[in-house]
Structure 1
Amino acid sequence: MEVGKPWHEDLHPETKKSVLAIVFFSLTVLTLLSYWGKAGFVGQFFFEILLWLFGNGFFLAPLTFALIGFSFLFSFRRHIYAATLVGGFLFLVSSLGVIDLVLGNQAGGHIGRFVTYPLFMLFDFWATLTIEAALFIAALLIMLNIPMLWFGRKVEESESSSAEATEDKEKTKELAGVIKDVMTEAVKAVKGDTMAGSVEAQKTIMLDEKTKGEEKFSFEKKRPGAAPYKKPPLAILNNDKGTPSSGDIRANANIIKRTLQNFGIEVEMDEVSVGPTVTQYTLKPAEGVKLSRIEALHKDLSLALAAHPIRIEAPIPGKSLVGIEVPNRSIALVGLRSLFEQAAFQESQGPLIFVLGRDVAGEPVYANLAKMPHLLIAGSTGSGKSVAIHSILTSFLFRNSPDTLKLILIDPKRVEQAMYNGIPHLLSPVITDYKKAIHALRWAVHEMDKRYELLSQEKTRDILSYNAKISQVQNTDKEILPYIVIVVDELADLMVAYPREVEGSIIRLAQMARAVGLHLIVSTQRPSVEVITGLIKANITSRIAFQVASQVDSRTILDMGGAEKLLGNGDMLFLAGDIAKPRRIQGAFVSETEVKKTVEFLKNESGEEPEYAEDIFSPITSVSSPDSQINFEDFDSDVDDELYEEAEKLVIEANKASASYLQRRLKIGYARAARLLDMLEENGIIGQGAGAKPREILVRKEDGVA
Structure 2
Amino acid sequence: MSDHQTKKEFKYEYLGLLIIAISVFSFLGLVTTELYGQLFSSQAIGAVGSFLIRSLAGLFGNGKYIFPFYLGFIGFMVIRKSSYDIHKPLLLGMGLIYGIILSIFHLQFFKDSGQFLEVFLQAMEGRGGGLIGAATAVVLGVLFGPVGSYVILGTLTIIALLLITNISLKDMISRFKKYSGKAFELLKTKFSDFLFYEIEEENEEIPVSEDEQEPIPIIVDQSDDSIFVDMDTEDGEKDQGPLDYEERDMDDAHDDYESYNLPPMDILKRPIRLKKSRINKDLAENIRLLEQTLTSFGVQAKVSQVGCGPAITRYELQPAKGVKVNRIVSLSDDIALSLAAPDIRIVAPIPGKPAVGIEVPNKE
TM-score by length of 2: 0.34
Q: Which has the higher helix share?
A: 2
> Which structure's CA Rg is the greater one?
2
